[in-house]
Chains A and B, each alone.
Chain A
Amino acid sequence: MEPTELISEALGTLTVNKMRTGLAILGIVIGIGSVIALVSLGQATQQTISSQIESLGANLLTVEPGAQRSGAVRGAFGGGTTLTLDDANAISTSPQVTTVQNVSPEVQRRAQVTTGSNNTNTEIVGATPAYLIVHKITLSSGSFISQRDVKGITKVAVIGPQVVSDLFGEGTDPVGQDIRINGKTFTIIGVTVSKGGTGFLNRDDIVYIPLTTAMKEIFGINYLNSIALEAKSPDVMTQAQNQVGYLLLARHKLGDPTQADFSIFSQQDILNTASATTGTFTTLLSGIAAISLLVGGIGIMNIMLVTVTERTREIGLRKALGAKKQTITLQFLTESIILTFSGGVIGVGVGIIASYIISNLISSPFAVSLSSIALAFIVSAGIGILFGWYPAKRAANLQPIEALRYE
């Protein structure tokens, strides 16, 4: 029989019991749909994180206190007290360090920020003018913290757009107004442009104040939480990492690099860690979705076994009229593949719609990869063959006399 005949005959049989066919397909629709939705969701999240990290600067290095770990695992933030402002100054002035062009010493901690009527809990960052360049911050109004502010320990603040809308309402320009941080009054001198992002990467929910003010007046500390470095180009990242590393080892009087009380990592290191994390998460979710696909496949097998039993007499007749085992096998495989494949087609549609809705809800970019769609088709057809095989073989091996006698 020609393939087109096999297909049209199988379609004819499948449309007889529409309810059963529909329910069998539904299992595959849910399976494929959830795989597509979750994989594209995972990929969208990964893309979001990558683009956010990359927007922070490709030649950015970060020095943090705490022991060097394998890879780039961050120690508890602000846990170490070994980095000092002198270290930062040494990096910018040392003749050994030739590959670093900007040094931004930083302290940060969460604190309560209030105006007369509103208050918000936000990240307070103590920064120098270098911060603006190293972290590629732009201002929508006013100006950033100047060298004079740092020297004079002035009480000025530059705030992110999230803080603006939390404290003053959206669309207002608060430059010139006052806010209170830990009971001390600061004058707002600038507002940053929105960088987007959520969670620990949110660069909009930040209040920048001069480094010296933060250390002495607000946090009462004499150490830095981190030093951000801008290398001269992305090509000299490793070199910069080594130069700074050896300088700090010497300054901290440590001979053995494994004893280092600080760690230096690049954006690429963070990116790798984040990718690994979201990758694991995506794999986990896809695994769960794959299980639902497996359950759908078992549903198909169940239905096909019922069909074979119901149509025992028909199979007997077909064999009596000259159908070979292969023909019977193909007939039933065609039916199960049509079931799973149409389930796959609908499932891809459902998955795309679902991931579109979810990406709108969590405001991440909507991305459906062609490879996952292609994979869904292959997998759904494969499931048809895998789970249709046993029922089809069972049909093909029926003995014609017994099948004809079957009541």
Chain B
Amino acid sequence: MKSRPIIETSHLSKIYKNDSVETVALVDVTFGINEGEFVAIMGPSGSGKSTLMHILGALDLPTSGTYILDGENVEKLTDDELADIRNRKIGFVFQAYNLLPRTSALKNVMLPMAYAGVPKEERRDKADKFLKMVGLGDRINHTSNQLSGGQQQRVAIARALSLNPAILLADEPTGNIATTQAEEIMAIFQQLNDQGHTIVMITHEPDIAEHAKRIIHIRDGKIVKDSDGHKQKLVSHKSTS
């Protein structure tokens, strides 16, 4: 089902200048991701995968090259325009969950919708729906510190889904989570992918990368291997209510 392109990059480069030292993080990276794909970007630390993730997530701009996200050219945009792109098109899932402390799961999920200007009632209903979807329907009023790592990451996934983004961008989503809970998180990602969500996941763990349909290997800022159509490891979907 190769269809609409969600991500198109061509000749992306990123060079960090620190005083007089130049650090080359990405060199001439060109690839595309279509709607409905589940892609893992793999590489050792220092390979440039975090830089790539920041550019794909519109958190940073490339030094050169073009990046088109869901039909919109992400280049030379102001901070506020980038914020708007992130808000509408990208659902972030971070390694450290990054939930607001002392804030209920419900309010955490409502936050991006508040920035998008969704009316309050609708925000509440949607947040409730997405929290049920990730299996936390009974914990919507728990604050972040009352939830386990796996549960916090599920809140983060619900938050990422709240504005129906073009792409889910997960940065080491299981890095801080115990193995059994990690499997549950991966099951949710696979389930979401089955429902048609496009997912890009950064990881350095081969086990985790195996859950994706496609793995892009990156090393020294370059794509070294793009295993389109590899055999996907499937996790049994637990029923989540």
Contact = CB atoms under 8 A, between A and B. Distances in A.
Interface of A: 1-2, 5, 12, 16, 313-314, 317-327, 400-401, 404
18 contacts: A1-B114, A5-B114, A12-B102, A313-B98, A314-B100, A318-B115, A320-B86, A320-B98, A322-B87, A322-B88, A322-B115, A323-B115, A324-B80, A324-B115, A325-B79, A326-B80, A404-B94, A404-B98
Contact of A327 (B92, B94, B115): B115
Contacts of A313: 98
Nearest to A313: B98
A401 B60 contact: yes
Contacts of A327: 115
Q: Which residue among A1, A314, A327, A400 has the maximum number of chain B CB atoms within 10 Å of its CB?
A: A400
A13 to B, nearest CB: 8
Contacts of B159: 321
A319 B114 CA distance: 13
Contacts, number: 56
A400 B114 contact: no
A320 B83 CA distance: 7
B59 interface: yes
Interface in B175-206: none
Contacts of A321: 86-87, 92, 111-112, 115, 159
A137 B83 CA distance: 80
A401 B86 CA distance: 13
A324 B114 CA distance: 12
A180 to B, nearest CB: 82
Interface residues of B, number: 25
Contact of B100 (A5, A317, A404): A317
B120 interface: yes
A5 B119 CA distance: 12
Given A320-B57, A321-B86, A326-B80, 9 more contacts: A1-B114, A314-B101, A317-B94, A318-B115, A319-B83, A320-B92, A321-B87, A321-B92, A400-B59
Given A318-B111, A400-B59, A401-B60, A324 B102 contact: no
Most buried by B among A12, A320, A322, A323: A322
Contacts of B59: 320, 400-401, 404
Nearest to B171: A404
Instruction: Determine chain B's interface SS by DSSP, over half rule.
Output: helix
Nearest to B102: A16
A317 B60 CA distance: 14
A145 B80 CA distance: 88
B116 interface: yes
A153 to B, nearest CB: 91
A16 B102 CA distance: 9
A343 B149 CA distance: 39
Contacts of B86: 320-322
Nearest to A326: B80
Interface string B16-54: 000000000000000000000000000000000000001
Contacts of A319: 83
Nearest to B86: A322
Nearest to B94: A404
A322 B79 CA distance: 10
B80 A317 contact: no
Interface string B156-169: 00010000000000
B125 interface: no
A322 B57 contact: no
Given A1-B114, A401-B54, A322 B98 contact: no
B84 interface: yes
A314 B100 CA distance: 7
A30 B192 CA distance: 57
A1 B114 CA distance: 6
A8 to B, nearest CB: 10
A400 B171 CA distance: 15
Contact of B83 (A16, A322, A401): A322
A5 to B, nearest CB: 7
A224 B16 CA distance: 94
- Output the residue of B80, B83, B120 with the most chain A CB within 10 A: B83
Contacts of A326: 80
B15 to A, nearest CB: 15
A322 B159 CA distance: 12
Contact of A322 (B60, B102, B103, B112): B112
